[in-house]
Amino acid sequence: MKTWLKILAIVLLFYVHIGGLLMDVPRLNILNETIRALYFHVPMWFGMVTLFLISVVYSVLYLVNPSVALDRKAVEFANVGLVFGILGMLTGMLWANYAWGSFWHGDPKQNGAAIALLVYLAYFILRGSVENEEQKARLSAVYNIFAFAAMIPLIFIIPRLTSSLHPGSGGNPGFNMYDLDNRMRMVFYPAVIGWILIGIWVTTLRVRMRGIEDKIHDLEDEKTH
């Protein structure tokens, strides 16, 4: 990852944390100050979807032209994407507690997100249950495609077709339809970009670490033989 992108990510998130906590926000019914969670909760989901998308691209590339490097990238992007998903779930539960009165309301979008995360957890269970490295990489690549295809309707389609408390779902208007305060957009969009860049940065570090670990493991195998 380019150095200027790393600097941009740090600057954006520094700005988001300061602006998200201190800048004025619209006084909307029920939400009030809790609307500030929008700067952290929603960008986490944007980051998750972006990382899962990159992961599935590497899985497709692996199926076309198998290589250890492609499999490693697919796994690590899915790994960090899952962390972003869990953080998105936790920040959403915190927001729901103040806005809806409980951490878990059984909302279709909450349930769909939880199922999607479980589907991705199964991806890692699958990898851990297969010993042959080539077979593990191929099976997990196929499953990764399935997991991403399942996540889209669970998070973006089904909640829109059912009764959901989430803005933009179940007939509810999205924030952009009733919130015309551009000050929120000045923080929200940088938050989305910043969290996505941080996710990619963390993943690239994990990929490099995995590469080093694999080389060390190979050297140890050579010494023992």
32: left (phi over 0), alpha (psi -120 to 50) or beta: left
Residue 67 has pLDDT above 50, yes or no: yes
Kind and range of the H or E element at 45?
Answer: helix 38-64
pLDDT, tens digit (0-9, with 9 covering 90-100), for 119-134: 999 999 999 998 898 9
pLDDT in tens, 158-181: 877 776 666 544 444 455 544 446
Rounded Cα gap, residues 167 and 182, in angstroms: 18
Give me the residue spans of the domains in the chain.
Answer: 3-224
Q: What is the pLDDT of residue 165?
A: 65
| Inter-helix orientation angle 133-152/68-99, to 10° | 40
Give mean pLDDT, residues 14-20: 91
- Do 172 and 166 touch, CB atoms closer than 8 A? yes
Q: What is the pLDDT of residue 25?
A: 78
DSSP assignment letter at 110: H
Question: Among 41-50, 76-85, 152-161, which stretch is predicted with the lowest mean pLDDT?
Answer: 152-161
* Cβ-contact 107, 165 below 8 angstroms: yes
pLDDT of residue 178: 43
Confidence of residue 30 (pLDDT cuts 50, 70, 90): low
